[in-house]
Structures are given as C-alpha cells and as structure tokens.
Amino acid sequence: MGRKNMKVTKESPTGRNLEFQKKGGGKKITRAQFVKDIKAGKHPEYYSRKINGLETPVSMPDESEGNNLG
C-alpha cells in the first residue's frame, strides 16, 4: 500500500473535511472530487464511506494508531 499523499486544506465549522491537496503542492480539490477520484481508482490508499449522508474520503487503516487525513 502506498503512503497517504493527501492533506486537508479546508474544514467546515463542524470539522468536516471540505478541500484537499496533494502533499508537496498541487491543485486543491473538493471533497466531492476527491471521492470521485477515489472511486475511479486514482487514490488506492483511500476509500469513501457515507458519514451523515455524505460520501466522505477516509484513509485506509495502517499500523499507525491515530493516522488519518489531516
């Protein structure tokens, strides 16, 4: 499994991740676009699941406790 290469660049007041960017720079993308890219297989180190009715990007579990998008 590859290293997690995305970081959160914008959150809502409630803490929902809204915008993401590749670590080291690159174009910022919305939550919806990130989910679309995940489903297209562009980010195998992530998957999406519904949280409070919205498809949400989440990182695949690994051996590090507390490792998550951020």
Model confidence pLDDT, tens digit, residues 16-53? 999 999 988 889 999 999 999 999 999 999 999 999 99
Residue 8, classed as helix, strand or coil, is strand
| pLDDT score recorded for residue 70 | 53
Q: How far apart are the first and last CA of the chain?
A: 19
Question: Is residue 30, in this structure, part of any structural domain at all?
Answer: yes
Question: Is residue 29, in this structure, part of any structural domain at all?
Answer: yes
| pLDDT score recorded for residue 36 | 98
Check whether 2 has a pLDDT greater than 80.
no
Residue 55 structure tokens: 């498809």
Question: Is residue 67, in this structure, part of any structural domain at all?
Answer: no
- Domains: count for the chain: 1
Smallest Cα–Cα separation from 20: which of 35, 31, 32? 31
| pLDDT score recorded for residue 26 | 87
Question: Is residue 70, in this structure, part of any structural domain at all?
Answer: no
Please check whether residue 70 is in contact with residue 4, taking contact to mean a CB–CB distance below 8 angstroms. no
For the segment 44-68, the average pLDDT, to the nearest whole number, is 85
Pick 52 or 66 by higher pLDDT: 52
